Structure formats: structure tokens, C-alpha cells
Chains A and B, each alone.
Chain A
Amino acid sequence: MAKLDLNRVPMPKQTAKARVKNFNEVALGYTDEDALAEASRCIQCKKRGCTEGCPVEVDIPEFIAAIRDGDMPEAVRILKSKNALPGICGRVCPQETQCEEVCSLGKKGAPIAIGRLERYVADWELKNQPGSKPEIAPATGKKVAVVGSGPAGLTVAADLAKLGHSVTIFEALHIAGGVLMYGIPEFRMPKDIVQVEVDYVKSLGVELKLDAVIGKISTVDEILEQGFDAVFLGTGAGLPMFLNIPGENYNGIYSANEFLTRTNLMKAYLFPEYDTPIKIGKRVAVIGGGNVAMDAARCSLRLGFEEVYIVYRRSREEMPARLEEVENAEEEGVIFKLLTNPVRFIGDENGWVTAMECIEMELGEPDESGRRRPVPKEGSEFTMDVDVVVVALGTTPNPLVPTTTKGLDTTKKGTVIAEEETGKTTKPGVWAGGDVVTGAATVISAMGAGKRAVASIDAYLRGK
């Protein structure tokens, strides 16, 4: 065998200077040569640590071998047999803490760029065999309602449809895809690609009902009474958290959900061609240190803000965002104000935010999350002029469904209680998975939960 190649093939990207002026995808995708070179680095381990690192157990060595052998249809088949949404996961999975973290090559050098190869295969399929469809089992006559069309709901709908069940998705918004459509920006997750995946799910016979807010248009109990045999809740964690400090309702202060929904779902970056506006000022402060904060900051740059700050109360090491996203943000010119916490907002006589009073923090003893607890430094208050603020502190599940469903138990945090292995909730006939159970997590963990629920729902329906 050839000598180990410890360096991965770099991803072609738009330059930082060019990309902050547009909403086009930042990472351009491997060329055929890039993909072949990267695939050839894989040593095809017998132990397959990589597969164990993937929440949906993609047969990684096999699909990489198919790329290396130039058998792309086979690569597509292998990948899609485990992962219905490879074009999405290849782009947004936190691979560095999943499949790639446990790749054997990682011990000596750079792990195989599994995510990039996955995206390459998905993009190849889109170009070369669009609309290909798997086999669908004979109809079982059983009906399942899926609430929410994020990654969890789409996975459950696709897999149950393949097993021959009749599936209807109820989605509150006017378009399917969940956070993939309203939260993650176009430049990381092109909306066309999400819609291709949604169309694929529909092509399996799944019925999609948009503008259908469950808890309002029907309750879960009514869905069950209307002849559905089972319900899967994939309603995500869509309720924004605020800081609860004085002045938070001044004009110009957004939740990240609002800021990103206007920008991505409603396409405010194309205003006034699209009707939904967004406030574009000079200085924006994004509060928080996760992926959502990075997305909001990077959207702000592209919308035309001159100075974009990330204000985070801990230090860089504790930032929950993916390293890649932090680096991208930095490269693009986002300014990080770490160990800083806002204490109140200051506004003008018309109700607009003009400044933010902050306090410096230092790190104390570790807290329950294992990260060092930030404590305010007395007397270190200072003010920072801003004209827009985006609060990106995180989200919790929307209570609309839990509060209208008898017998569906939730935790103190508002997440729906469901068995880890099966997704079964406390209510018979009702399953749940994804962010609504875990709180804000990842696309692939939502899909993994969906897969486990499918096995359980299928067994239930067949025994019924």
C-alpha cells in the first residue's frame, strides 16, 4: 500500500473578501480530482471507528471506496441507505466531533474529510441522477402524522413511507425544512438543496400540509381521532430565550430567531424585491457564542453592517460554536468581545437602542456544565454604542403542542420526555425526537432520533 498521506485535500472556498458581499455558499465543494485524492487517503480500516462515530451509522469506508473506484451510483446508494439527507449533513454536521473525530488517520494527521466527501456524493447525485427513487414497500394501510418538517420529521416521514405506511407531515410555516430553511443561512446551507431533499421526501408519497399549526388547527388528540394510527412530534426547539435585562424591548433588539428568519426564510437580504424588511445599521452586537451567534454575525456582515461584534461571557475555549465557524467569522471580520456580558440596554426618546452597558467577566470554578463559571468583575462596567442587537442565547421547545396534548409529559425545561432508544413519549401512539426532546442540538442527532423512532413506530403499526 502507498505511504500514508496525512494531509487532507483543502476545500475550495470563496475568499473572505468576496464572500462577505454575497449570500452564496462559502464552501464551493470538492472537484472530481479533489474527491478522488481525498477518497484515496482512506485506509479502509477493518474496525470502522468512523461509522461508530456517526449517529446514523453511515457505511463510511464503503461509500469512500466507491468514490475511489469511480462508481458514483454505488456511492450514492450506500450513503442514502443510511442517510436520507446527505447533501445537508455533508454541509452542516459537526464532523470534527463525530465521524471524523474517531477516524484512524486522526491519530497521526488529518482525519479523512468525510463530510466533504459526503457532500460531494450528494452534489454528484443532484447533477447526474436527479429524482432517483428507492423501492417502496407495498402499502400497509396504516396512517402516520408527522408534526414538523425539520430534519427529524423529514427522516421519519421518508423512512416510514419507504416501509409502505401512509404519511402526512403537518408544518406550521409556509415552507418545509425547519431550521434548515429559517435558521441556517443560505451561505452555509443553500435553500435549493434543502428543497431538493423535501421534494425527494414528497416523491416517496408523503403528503405535506403547510401552514398547519398543530395545537391550533388540530390537536394531537384530534389527529389520533381522525384516523391516524401514530403521531411523531418533530417540532424542534423554536422558542427564543431573552436576557431578561432592562431595555430589552427597545427597537433594534432582535432574537436570533427573528433576525435569521427575516434574513433566511423571508429573504430580507433581497429587500425590497422581497417584501420583508430588516434593520441594517452600522454596529451590531450579537450576544452569544454558539453556531447561531456565528450565523447571525456572518449574516450581519453580508447585510451591510460596518462593525459586527460577538459578545460572549466566557472565553474562547468555552465557546460552543464549531471551530470552523468561529474561524470563518474571524476571517470575515467579526470582532470578538469575550468575557463580556450585557447588563442593560440604553435607548433614545423614540425607543431605539443606542448603546449597551456591559460588564467584564472572569472565569471562576467550573459549573454543572463542566465549563468555568463566568463571574462579573466589580466596577468594570462600560458602554458600547450599538444600533442593532441580536440575542442568540439559545432556544427551548415551543409549548404549543405540549400544552394542548393530554398525557404528554415534559421536563422542567419544556422538552418532551421520550425514551432514548425508541422515541416513545408518555402518551400511547405518540413518539417524539430531535430538538423537541433534546433541546437545541444538531441535524444529525435529530435524524438519528428519527431513525430510532421509525423502527419503534413500524413495529407498533405492524402489531396493531
Chain B
Amino acid sequence: MYKILKREDLTPEIHLFEIDAPDVAKKAQAGQFVVIRVDEKGERIPLTIADWNREKGTVTVVFMEVGKTTRKLATVQADESIATFAGPLGLPTHIEKFGTVVCVAGGFAIATIVPIAREMRKAGNKVISIMGFRTKDLVFWEDRLRSVSDELIVTTDDGSYGRKGVVTVPLKELLEGAEKVDLVVAIGPTVMMKFSSLTTQPFGVKTIVSLNPIMVDGTGMCGVCRVSVGDITRFTCVDGPDFDGHKVNWDELMARQRIYLDEEKKSLELWQHSCGRR
């Protein structure tokens, strides 16, 4: 069992857990993830490592409530425990001095991009970050991302905070601007990663995305996380999660993310009904 030492509700539907997991903390690197299970009957789902503290032996994850498992996870309080917390899994994000790196993140992935931006900056890069949200109420960790970036641009879809519009608009401006962009790292919902990649492609700027297909074991054993990258089938959990966004078969990924739509819906409804939750 893995104890939640600290819980923070970043928005009504996005939560932060700091978890007691010294072995994972010892090895965690930016871009890696863990597989968690809430309880004995729970499903295994992946969550990205948002932060870690090797001395304290803790690992931080940030998750958004979308279906049964993440909603069930959101009912766990500080001092309570979850059944599984396995990691660090996947390959770390490749960090080196590229020059100017633009980090683009949407929604819960702000938490994921923070350690990547931090490590990129430590490696000597100039880091420009773009963070996008649907609306003002969902904005979180603006300060944190700012503190690890040289520049920060915030967007909201409805214009209630920062610039109005989606992240690809400022991204395109940067690419068209005077300053040479050497690398783009885009993490967030699949559509956002797809359109970020499409935005950078005409400029020939290498774009790293962190894919989020369905997973079970996270160790290369089941193959459910397979994605086509440049026509080669890769297992995201061991060959990724980072891939070249210009080579990913996005339509296939989006189709595969929908495999269990009917079952997920049924499962969530039953659960909400049985415990009277929204």
C-alpha cells in the first residue's frame, strides 16, 4: 500500500497527490510515469510523474477526473492509501542543450511539463512555455511553470484569462518570429498534441510528444499501448512515452483510445449511482 502524504485540489477536477514511494522517488526522471491501482478491484492506469523528492522519498502525481478510476482516485484523502504505485516506467525525456525549447502544455499536463521545462533549463536551454486551459477557473501552477521558464504565455479557450484561443496560435507566432526555435515539447490531450505537431511540421522543428494510449501493465507485456510511429509499431510504455510528433499516426491513436468507451461509460454510471456521486 502506498500512502498519500499530501493532497491538494488544484481545480475542482484536478488533484495533486504526494505519495510515499521511496524506491520510485530514487529513480524518477522527467517524462516517466507510474502505473497505479486504487484498490483490489481497481484497474491499472498510468499517471505521469509530476515531481519527486529523493530525500523525503515522495513522488507527486497530478490527475484529472475523467472516468471511474480517476474519480475513485479523487475520493482518496490524505493519510489514506492506494493499492499499487509501480514505476518509474517508460523512458525519460531526452534532455540536452538544444538552444531554444518551447514547452507547450494543456490541462492536467501542466504538471507533467514542469519537470521537463526545469531539466531543459538546467541543461542550458532557453525555455519558452505555453500553457493552455479551457477557462480561467481551471488555471493552476502558473507560478510554478513561470519559475522554470524564461518566458510564459497563458491561453484560455474563452479568453477569460491570458490570451484568448488555443495554444497553437502563440506556438505558430513563435515559429514565425525572429528567434530560432530548436525543439518543441508538446504534452496534453491527444488533439492538442496532434495540432501542435501539425503546426510545427511546416517549419521543420522537431516536436516531441508524450503519448497517452490505454495501458495495462506498463512493462511491455500486453501490447495494448501499441502506436504506429513512422509506420513501425512501438509499445508506448517501453519505447516511449515520448515520440516524434511528426511521425505519429494520430488517427490510429485516437481510435485506440476509444476502445472501451461503452464499457467505461457503463462502469462510471454504475459507480456514480451506487455511491451517489456526480
**A residues engaging B (CB < 8 A)?**
172-174, 210-213, 216-218, 238-240, 242, 244, 248-252, 254-255, 257-258, 261-262, 266-267, 271-279, 350-352, 398-400
Contacts and interface: CB of A to CB of B under 8 A. Distances in A.
A351 to B, nearest CB: 3
Given A272-B263, A275-B72, 20 more contacts: A212-B86, A213-B87, A213-B89, A216-B27, A217-B23, A217-B26, A251-B255, A257-B221, A258-B222, A261-B216, A272-B266, A274-B43, A275-B42, A275-B68, A276-B44, A277-B267, A351-B256, A398-B220, A398-B221, A399-B220
B233 A249 contact: yes
Which 9 residue pairs across A and B have the least CB separation, nearest first? A351-B255, A277-B263, A211-B86, A258-B222, A275-B43, A255-B223, A238-B221, A272-B267, A276-B43
Given A251-B259, A261-B216, A266-B44, A242 B221 contact: no
A216 B89 contact: yes
A240 B237 CA distance: 14
A446 B175 CA distance: 57
Contacts of B24: 217
Nearest to B32: A216
A114 B87 CA distance: 43
Contact of A249 (B41, B217, B220, B252): B252
A284 to B, nearest CB: 15
A188 to B, nearest CB: 20
B232 to A, nearest CB: 10
B72 to A, nearest CB: 8
Interface residues of B, number: 45
B37 interface: yes
Contacts of A262: 216
A174 B258 contact: no
Nearest to A280: B263
B85 interface: yes
A267 B37 CA distance: 14
Contacts of A275: 41-43, 68-69, 72, 267
A258 B223 contact: yes
Contacts of B43: 266, 274-277
Contact of A257 (B26, B222, B228, B238): B222
A120 B261 CA distance: 45
Interface string B194-223: 000000000000000000000011011111
A279 B27 contact: no
A270 B72 CA distance: 18
Interface of B: 23-24, 26-27, 37, 41-44, 68-69, 72, 83-89, 216-217, 219-224, 226-228, 233, 238, 251-252, 255-256, 258-260, 263-264, 266-267, 270-271
B223 A272 contact: no
A272 B88 contact: no
Contact of A261 (B68, B222, B252): B222
Nearest to A255: B223
Given A240-B223, A276-B43, A251 B233 contact: no
Contacts of A261: 216-217, 221-222
22 contacts: A173-B217, A174-B37, A211-B84, A213-B89, A217-B87, A238-B221, A240-B221, A242-B223, A249-B227, A250-B255, A251-B255, A257-B222, A258-B223, A272-B263, A272-B266, A272-B271, A273-B41, A275-B41, A276-B216, A277-B264, A400-B219, A400-B238
Nearest to B251: A351
B220 A239 contact: yes
B255 A279 contact: no
Contacts of A266: 43-44, 216
Contact of A213 (B219, B258, B259, B264): B219
Contact of A172 (B88, B217, B267): B217
A303 to B, nearest CB: 12
A277 B255 contact: no
B142 to A, nearest CB: 32
Contacts of B228: 249
Given A213-B87, A213-B89, A272 B260 contact: no
A267 B258 CA distance: 21
Nearest to B37: A174
A211 B217 CA distance: 10
A248 B233 CA distance: 9
Contacts of A257: 221-223
Contact of A251 (B85, B258, B264, B266): B258
A216 B221 CA distance: 15
B206 to A, nearest CB: 25
A173 B42 CA distance: 14
A263 to B, nearest CB: 11
A217 B27 contact: yes
B267 A271 contact: yes
B125 to A, nearest CB: 26
A75 B43 CA distance: 41
A225 to B, nearest CB: 13
B82 to A, nearest CB: 11
A94 to B, nearest CB: 24
Given A217-B24, A255-B222, A258-B222, A271 B233 contact: no
A216 B88 contact: yes
Contacts of A251: 255-256, 258-259
Contacts of A210: 84
